[in-house]
Amino acid sequence: MIEIKTVNDVAEQTRLGSQNNLIINAVENYKRIKEFFEKGRPDVAVIQIPPNTPAVIVGSGSSLDENVEGLRNWRSIIFATPQTYPILMSRGITPQFIVAVDTSIEDVEPLRGEGNAFTTLITHPSINPAMFDAWKGPIMFMQVNFDDETDVLFRAMFPFITFNLGAQGCVSNMQLIMASALHLNPVVMIGMDMQNTDGRSSATRWKKVGNWRYEAIANPRDPAKMGTTEIPIVMQFYRLLLAVIWKGTGINLFRIGRGLDLIPEISAEDACNKKFPPPKEHGQLVKEIDDYTIPEGVYGSMTDGHVDMIEFAERITVHPKNDKEKEHAAHWTKLPDGKWRRSI
């Protein structure tokens, strides 16, 4: 068993494990992806949508249960994920795009046997190979940049995929960058809670049980956490990245329901009727984002536009603000040389 002594050791082992999976999947997928491109050019870069077309990004936060019905009258672009696709289809709402990034089998199962002419799956070369047999509809590809040596490898393997998108913590953040690249504006986020509310971390999942019938999968609450709101550290990181992305794109961004409280809230009815307030003045937006502190322990400025996950973890553990953070911090000891040691 390998002894993990520092937070950097943890990061390195996680990185190497992820790299191996990404490379193995890419090699296995190469032949099938090449065949897709021999039949056409399924590259996200060729997507053409009229500029300033509104779009909705659907996250899987628990507030989606309360608000998803409001999308029935939405008549424009919808981005979903493998997890939210069945939630939408169970209400008769068909998304135009599903963006699949996670390489686990959990992203494959909701799409098994699914597919229609109106929904395109957007994914990358290192997706789980089972996805190509599971999804029966159109597929397009992008390159996901992981900021390590695999980026060079994948560009050499798949030079015909020209649309590049950096990994941004969670799929919804990547969808916001994609929407900006496709000149979609404004953008409405729904189910983008990035928090746990009343003991639930996600919306109720649905699964297909017949040709046109879906049923809900049990999603019990933790009774001890009723009336509480938690923002786990990883979701704080997602929020931080979302704020930085928003500042970089300057897109006219709104939210339906819970989410990053910096983002103006809009009702589903107003969104569907295209009653969007004017965007914030960019200088004011930048100031608000730079001054923003995410609840429960984010420290330092966001002005550099780049946050290292390890530095972020150290910031959280260096300055515990409450008992929960103190408990987390107790697992790490900062050594005189600046390295971290974890108690296992």
Query: Taking the domains of the chain in order of start, what are their residue ranges?
Result: 43-284
Residue 312, pLDDT score = 44
CA dihedral 323, 233, 186, 268 (to 10 degrees): -60
Strand partners, 163: none
Distances (CA, A) of 244 to 231, 282, 307: 18, 13, 9
In CATH, what is the architecture of 43-284? Answer: Alpha-Beta Complex (3.90)
Q: Which residues contact 206 (CB under 8 A, 6 or more apart)?
A: 86, 87, 89, 90, 214, 215, 216, 217
Distance CA 181, CA 163 (A): 10
pLDDT tens-digit readout, 135-191? 999 999 999 987 777 788 888 999 999 998 888 778 999 999 999 999 999 999 999
Q: Is 84 in contact with 191 (CB distance < 8 Å)?
A: yes
pLDDT bucket at 276, cuts 50 / 70 / 90: very high
Residue 213, pLDDT score = 84
Residue 337, pLDDT score = 60
Residue 234, pLDDT score = 72
Q: Between vectors from CA 308 to CA 307 and to CA 310, what angle results, nearest 5°?
A: 140
More confident residue, 249 or 335: 249
- The DSSP annotation for 16-49 comes to HHHHHHHHHHHHHHHHHHHHHHHHS--BGGG---
Distance CA 190, CA 78 (A): 11
pLDDT bucket at 250, cuts 50 / 70 / 90: confident
Q: Is 56 in contact with 175 (CB distance < 8 Å)?
A: no
Closest by CA to 128, choosing from 248, 29, 269, is 29
pTM over 0.85: no
Distance CA 304, CA 306 (A): 5
Helical H segments across 78-138, by residue range: 85-89, 131-134
What's the mean per-residue pLDDT of the chain?
Answer: 80
Burial of 126 (0-12, 13-18, 19+ CB in 10 A): buried
More confident residue, 46 or 16: 46
Q: Which residues contact 118 (CB under 8 A, 6 or more apart)?
A: 94, 96
Residue 201, pLDDT score = 82
Cβ neighbours of 15 (radius 10 Å): 13
pLDDT tens-digit readout, 313-339? 444 333 444 454 444 443 444 456 655
Residue 297, pLDDT score = 36
Asked if pLDDT for residue 286 goes beyond 60, the answer is yes
Strands 164-166 and 77-80: unpaired
